[in-house]
Amino acid sequence: MQVLSLILLMLAMALPLSAESPTDKALAAEASVVRRDDGMMQIGKILFDSKTREIRVPTTVNMAEGLLEFLLVHEKGKIHESLLTTDASATDLNLAMKLLDYRESPELYRLLDENGFGTNNFPVVDDAVKAAARIQIELEWSDAGTTRRFPASDLIQQKVLGTSMPAGPWVYGGSGFSNGRFSAETTGDMIAIYTSSAALINFPGDGRLDDLVWFPFPNRVPPVKTPVVLIITPFR
């Protein structure tokens, strides 16, 4: 395996980082990637493919019942309300997203007023950016030697309606910085169902602002502690 600096890899792949802050650049300068023998790239525990733009995140089933606000959090984050947990770094996942040229769309993050409180207004985002921010999320695990792979939405239930979450895209928003620190890393918010401005990725559909309706879908979620690979690909 060959270790490359992230900056050199970005130049080689001709995939620019978007909307970099000084902290973004510092994180990128310190990071490194590994070019694996199987052709995949690796940042920390995040695997990705520069050709297909697939990203693979190692996770574990955390809940099989109870209210959900997140699809994925760091294992030191809000584990009482997340379907999955991971020990992978939110910073590493964000850098992989940037390397693969996913675009950040802050369309789901409320604009703040002069006192720092959320308003009912949202950023206006160009349609091209919105399209480039939309991703598909699937979950893959082994069940008695058989590989199972389903859209993440299939494992989440809208309790009031008794139906699975709509199978549309998720939105990469990119999180943000607070006091010079990357919010997704400090909070552990990685993929949110109930909109989180700190999360890297959010569910954009109806019910995203309702924290009382989302539950694991009975008989679809693997047993707690089952290893699951979360797979991110471009939304088609």
Q: Please indicate whether residue 73 or residue 114 has the higher confidence score (pLDDT).
A: 73
- Say what the pLDDT of residue 210 is: 87
Residue 117 lies in a domain: no
What 3-state class would DSSP assign to 90?
helix
**At 167, which amino acid appears?**
A
Given a contact cutoff of 8 angstroms between Cβ atoms, the answer to whether 131 and 105 are in contact is no
pLDDT digits (tens, 9 = 90+) for 53-82: 999 999 999 999 999 999 999 999 999 999
> Is 51 a domain residue?
yes
Residue 78 lies in a domain: yes
pTM beyond 0.75: yes
Structure-model confidence comparison of residues 16 and 154, the more confident one: 154
**What are the structure tokens assigned to 28, written together?**
């990128």
pLDDT band at 16 (very low <50, low <70, confident <90, very high): very low
Q: Does residue 13 register a pLDDT over 90?
A: no
Number of domains in the chain: 1
The answer to the question of residue 8 being in a domain is yes
pLDDT in tens, 167-220: 889 999 999 988 889 999 999 999 999 999 999 999 999 888 888 999 999 999
Which residues make Cβ contacts (< 8 Å) with residue 152, sequence separation at least 6?
71, 137, 138, 139, 165, 170, 230
pLDDT at 190: 98
| 229 close to 152: Cβ distance less than 8 angstroms | no
In a domain, 135, yes or no: yes
Residue 120 is assigned to a structural domain of this protein: no
Q: Which residue has the higher pLDDT, 115 or 150?
A: 150
In this predicted model, which residue has the larger pLDDT, 120 or 53? 53
DSSP string, 140-182: EEEETTEEEEEEGGGGEEETTTTEEPP---EEE----EETTEE
**Residue 35: which domain range?**
2-110+125-234
Is 194 a domain residue? yes
Q: Is residue 115 part of a domain?
A: no
Q: Which two tokens stand for residue 57?
A: 């995140």
Question: Mean pLDDT across the stretch 122-149?
Answer: 96
